Amino acid sequence: MRELSYRHALREAFDEELARDENVVLLGEEVAQYNGAYKVTEGLWEKWGAKRIVDTPISEAGFIGMGLGASMLGLRPVMELMFWSFHSVAFDQLVNNAANVRYMSGGLINCPIVVRGPANGGTNVGATHSHVPEALFAAFPGLKVCAPATPADAKGLMKTAIRDNDPVYVMENTMLYGNMGPVPEASEGDHLVPLGKADIKREGSDVTLIAHGRSVLRALEAAEILQNDHNISAEVVDLRSIRPLDQETILRSVMKTNRAVCVDESKAFGGVSGMVATLIQEHAFDSLDAPVKRVCSLDAPAIYSPHVEDEQLPNPRRIVQQVLTIA
């Protein structure tokens, strides 16, 4: 299969959906003429023009609310936050309006928007630019959240998100944009990855590592170390979608391995892994041979220092260490 970068796979998703539906419009800071702060939207303005690919001023509350209002009239705005960290200046639009309008109108309105952009630590940009808010937004009924780890999932989830009739918040990752991976050719048909479907990225029998986003890749690295150095066979479940959540796949894997370690770049308090651990203890309690463990980001604002930032994040060393406490 051909290989594409994560950013190229995303771009292909936009390009195909722009062609498929004239109501799809891309909005955001530097997405058009600048070709995207991370070159995710490179070439799209040139191809599709200023009506479909719209540069906005640095005005997140304004343009996200604008896209949301336009979605009520049937547009499908795909709005880029240059960093998901900037959600805080648009929070009223992202939550009070996007998550609630359908409910407060008794189901008369739906908002088919996508808000997307990178949400990750690891690039030494300090606490204001390193938020990973997937658990935060997944906590609001009315919103959907996903976090692809591979180029193929990035493309497939983005296309699904654009077609979904509810607000979908896609958490990308600046550390993944350059990663290469196999992505099916467009000629093989629409490559769609459904929301709510996890993926087993590595099969194993001794412990289940449950992760999403870049943490999936760190978990895969850890699984390799566990196999080679400790003869422990780790299964890696990539959640892909946070809400809806594939509870079934999580439980099936844990019931097989009898041990679970959640790997989650969120902070532990209220993180995605908190929800996953709760579901495991509630539904697979009798299958567990050990407490569910978590490897989250160390519980402080994101540190800048390139010397130690990686130690704040879930990394293979920390994952292996945690697995060894129960396996």
Partner 1 sequence: MPGPADTKFANLDFASSPINSSLTPEEKIGIYRDMVRIRRFEHQALAQYQKPGKMGGFLHLYNGQESVAVGTVSLCGEHDHLITAYRNHGHALAVGMSMDECMAELFGKAGGCSKGKGGSMHFFAPDKNYWGGHGIVAGQTPLGLGLGFGLKYKDLPGCALTFLGDGAINQGAFHESLNLAALFEIPVVFIIENNGYSMGTSQRRSSAYRECLAQRAEAYDMAWDLVNGEDVYEVRAKTHIAMERARKERQPTLLEVDTYRYYGHSVADANAQKYRTPEEIERYKTNHDPLILWKQLLLNEGVMTEEAAKGIEDAAKDEAKQSVAFAEASPAPTVESIMDDVYWETDNNTEASKIGRHFFND
- The catalytic residue positions are 60, 129
Question: Which residue, 96 or 205, is less far from partner 1 as judged by CB?
Answer: 96
Question: Which residue, 144 or 201, is less far from partner 1 as judged by CB?
Answer: 144
Would you tell me how many other CB atoms lie within 10 Å of the CB of residue 1? 10
Question: Which residue, 174 or 273, is less far from partner 1 as judged by CB?
Answer: 273
Question: Which residue, 166 or 221, is less far from partner 1 as judged by CB?
Answer: 166
Least Cβ distance, residue 282 to partner 1 (angstroms): 9
Least Cβ distance, residue 196 to partner 1 (angstroms): 2
Question: Which residue, 70 or 326, is less far from partner 1 as judged by CB?
Answer: 70
Helix (H, G, I), strand (E, B) or coil at 274: helix
Q: Are strands 207-211 and 260-267 parallel, antiparallel or unpaired?
A: parallel
Least Cβ distance, residue 137 to partner 1 (angstroms): 14
Q: Are 212 and 149 in contact (CB under 8 A)?
A: yes
Backbone angles phi, psi at 7, to 5 degrees: -70, -40
Q: Give the C-alpha separation, 323 to 311, whole Å.
A: 16
Give the single-character DSSP code of 301: S
Q: At what angle do helices 151-163 and 6-20 cross, to 10 degrees?
A: 30
Residues that bind partner 1 (CB under 8 A): 25, 51, 54, 56-57, 59, 61-75, 92-93, 96-97, 101-110, 112, 141-142, 144, 160, 164-166, 194-197, 241, 243-247, 275
Question: Which residue, 184 or 194, is less far from partner 1 as judged by CB?
Answer: 194
Radius of gyration for the chain, computed over Cα atoms and rounded to the nearest angstrom: 19
Q: Give the C-alpha separation, 249 to 252, whole Å.
A: 5
Least Cβ distance, residue 229 to partner 1 (angstroms): 35
Helix (H, G, I), strand (E, B) or coil at 206: coil
Q: Which residues pair with 117 in a beta bridge?
A: 171
Give the single-character DSSP code of 39: S
Backbone angles phi, psi at 290, to 5 degrees: -160, 160
Burial of 139 (0-12, 13-18, 19+ CB in 10 A): middle
Burial of 269 (0-12, 13-18, 19+ CB in 10 A): exposed
Least Cβ distance, residue 64 to partner 1 (angstroms): 7
Least Cβ distance, residue 171 to partner 1 (angstroms): 16
